[in-house]
Amino acid sequence: MSIRYIDEIDDLRGKKIFMRVDFNVPLDEHQNITEDTRIRAVLPTINYALDFNAKVILASHLGRPKGERNAKYSMAPAAMRLSRLIGKEVRLAPDCIGEEVTKLLDTMQPGDVVMLENLRFYPGEEKNDPDFARALADHCDIYINDAFAVSHRAHASVEAITQFVPVVAAGFLMKNEMNYFEKAMKNPIRPLVAILGGAKVSGKLEVLESLCSKVDKIVIGGGMAFTFLKALGYNVGKSLVEEELLPTALKTYNMAREKGIKFYLPIDCVVADRFNPAAETKVTTIQEIPEDWMGLDIGPATVTLFTEALQNAKTIIWNGPMGVFEMDAFSRGTFAMVAAVANSYALTIVGGGDTDVAVHRAGEYAKISYISTGGGAFLELLEGKKLPGIRVLEENGHK
């Protein structure tokens, strides 16, 4: 079954639309938004609904309030930023369910925008509680999911709510996410190269196993590379290693090689005597990592190797940085790979989280074909899983 999208709904005029968005944006200590990509990403869907004079109700979570009301996690900063971006008032509801909210929503006029307070102030959101979902659904004629980043979660505002709304569809952000994923994984132009980084192998083993049947090359960087290197017999000093996964890492490496996949690992790295921005650092080959030092970034020879591996790529997917790029001393490898991916002649898809931050910080985001808004959701799609939020859109989108 296919997903129905907002532009396939016959009539939005004056309708009350409940739109699940992901405004889980980073804030500084003064509750100021430091990066608003996730808000800007859903502007096309919000503006499309407003073009039809719909009544738009936005629902999101922010942070991890753990089912309790906490002013620190209020949606107020997101409502304020969205007001500036769309050039009209976005009223913040006092809650996301309850009598006060109902009164506010009953007074909405066509073209009004209201943002509900943090969904995760209620434990029922993360528990996928049908009663909580029904209370949310009471507010609307149409449900739109434009929150890809949380679509791997079976939460009340993502999954259960679709049972209680007559019209269910997805927004334009979701449409972009699914279209680019299909281009990359279902019918890719080859060679298809997967770049995986980040700290740990544990979150990406199933992804790697899935990729072994789809890609032509796998490039491994970040802390997870050291688990593979140790499994292959290298002494990696005090670098991050998941000891319990050494056999699995070796098995995955051998599986890729048996299938004829080119498997690239670092050949040198930037090492430090401690995990600290002020640590003493040097570049060594993988064979010469000092016993009491740790690898925190790929080295210049690895950057050259990985860049060469991308030269003939036609499709590149990337999830996870090449090192601890938050610290300047260990950021060069990640930023060099951003440049290599951005300047390749390939369809390039970067998957959420830290990789997204690195691309923006490097100033190369305009050259990337598509930057996904979802980290965990992106990885689960790569694993071949059916996301709960996608499944219910397919099942309920044509009822």
Would residue 397 show up in a list of annotated catalytic residues for this protein? Answer: no
Cα atoms found within 13 Å of the Cα of residue 66, Cβ hemisphere only: 0
Catalytic residue among 91, 200, 251, 367: 200
Catalytic residue among 67, 203, 376, 384: 376
How deeply is 280 buried, as exposed, middle or buried, from its count of CB atoms within 10 A (0-12, 13-18, 19+)?
exposed
Cα separations (Å) of 287 from 201, 299, 385? 21, 13, 38
C-alpha triplet 181, 187, 189: angle, nearest 5°: 100
Neighbouring residues of 98: CB distance < 8 A, sequence distance ≥ 6: none
Q: DSSP secondary structure string, 47-113?
A: HHHHHTT-EEEEE---S--TTS--GGG-SHHHHHHHHHHHTS-EEEPS-SSSHHHHHHHHT--TT-E
Catalytic residue among 333, 353, 375, 397: 353
- Hey, is 197 helix, strand or coil? coil
> How far is it, in rounded angstroms, from Cα 314 to Cα 189?
6
DSSP 312: T
Q: Which two tokens stand for residue 162?
A: 């679709």
- Hey, is 247 helix, strand or coil? helix
Would residue 361 show up in a list of annotated catalytic residues for this protein? Answer: no
> How far is it, in rounded angstroms, from Cα 158 to Cα 156?
5
Would residue 111 show up in a list of annotated catalytic residues for this protein? Answer: no
Neighbouring residues of 167: CB distance < 8 A, sequence distance ≥ 6: 9, 141, 142, 143
> How far is it, in rounded angstroms, from Cα 313 to Cα 349?
12
> How far is it, in rounded angstroms, from Cα 204 to Cα 321?
13
Q: Are 186 and 194 in contact (CB under 8 A)?
A: no
Catalytic residue among 4, 38, 81, 238: 38
Would residue 69 show up in a list of annotated catalytic residues for this protein? Answer: no
The residues assigned a catalytic role are: 38, 200, 353, 376
